[in-house]
Amino acid sequence: MARIFITGSSDGLGLLAGRQLVEEGHEVVLHARNERRAADTRAALPAAATVVIGDLVSLDGMRQVAAQANAAGPFEAVIHNAAVGYRERRTKTPDRLNHVFAVNTLAPYVLTALIATPRRLIYLSSGLHRSAHPGLDDLEWEHRPWNGMQAYSDSKLHDVILAFAAARHWPGVFSNALEPGWVPTKMGGPGAPDDLEAGAATQVWLAVSEDPAATVSGRYFYHLRARDPNPVARDPAVQDRLIEICASLSGVAWPEVPRSS
């Protein structure tokens, strides 16, 4: 039995992955952004061990989530599932950061840096990351006309970059990224053609399976099969530059070695 933490798991793919893990006999810690959502989450999956509460839109919220997760851990795996979508308008967070960047890129960075490092790290990306650019000279969209689809796509590339950076810096950790497909969640919409159950299954497989195909690092998956990611994600200079910027903006340093519990 493993203990797994899933961010953004009050509904959608995160909750579904949690349900699949519980049905397999694992302990799951879920996450919701506020008390109301947490109550709904507990009602939706009462077998979950607990629900961590904190809004990943702010740095304070990110730190609160990390602290609560550490109190509920240690974990065999952390699934970085939380995200906002491509329909977002250009808005600023309480820390005056771009909203999409803060939730989709900076939050997984901060949580990776602050939560005791598990054996496995899983980052949710999207097939849209293939048409993305790291945008490291303008992560906050201060100098480009706002494009919500591009901002979302870029942030999903950042998640792959973070996964591969962790794989490179921490060779003892299995760190991978995946795309769940275009599935019918709130973000994907009711007409999305991909299979929702299959979209969660790869998260579960990477979190707990001892299949040799799952106990790897620095890979990108779709429906339990490895796929080629955007090649820029494998560039060590890009990885380290994204880490440097995230560390500067958050005030949270990237651990040179995995963080112990």
Residues identified as active-site: 152, 156
Neighbours of 97 (CB within 10 A): 21
- Asked if 134 and 232 touch (Cβ cutoff 8 Å), the reply is yes
The enclosing H or E element of 165 equals helix 148-169
| Three-class secondary structure of residue 12 per DSSP | helix
Task: Give, in degrees to the nearest 5, the angle at Cα 175 between 169 and 179.
Answer: 135
The label of the residue with tokens 């919701």 reads 32
Which pair of tokens denotes residue 50? 């607990």
Q: How many CA atoms lie within 13 A of 226 on its CB side?
A: 10
Residue 52 phi, psi (nearest 5):
-80, 140
User: Cβ(181)–Cβ(223) under 8 Å?
Assistant: yes
CA pair distance 93, 98, nearest whole angstrom: 6
The 10 Å CB-count burial string (b at 16+, else e) for 169-183 is bbeebbbbbbbbbbb
**Cα(158)–Cα(152) distance, integer angstroms:** 10
